[in-house]
Amino acid sequence: MADGFDVNKMLERFRERAEAVKRRNLPPVGGEERAAFVNQAQTDYQDFAMLSDADGSLEDGILTLRIDLRPPSD
């Protein structure tokens, strides 16, 4: 698995997925279904964006992603 695996390419794919979620059209649904779709899109975007911002490394076959979730310091 580790041979030929590129952490940066994986992170770029997550950036692309986050952007795709932002461009995703709402299906023709209303009410609770619409709210569920919007909530899922927000969760998908958050997850993909967080992963795309990770610092990644692959050492001895172990993929490590570091994501700083601390609030920005002023």
Tens digit of pLDDT at every position of the chain (74 positions): 556 889 999 999 999 999 999 998 887 888 898 899 899 999 999 999 999 999 999 999 999 999 998 998 87
With contact defined as beta carbons under 8 Å apart, do 37 and 26 qualify? yes
Can you tell me the distance from the alpha carbon of 16 to that of 5, in angstroms, rounded to the nearest whole number? 18
Phi, psi of 34 (to 5 degrees): -65, -45
How far is CA 44 from its chain centroid?
7
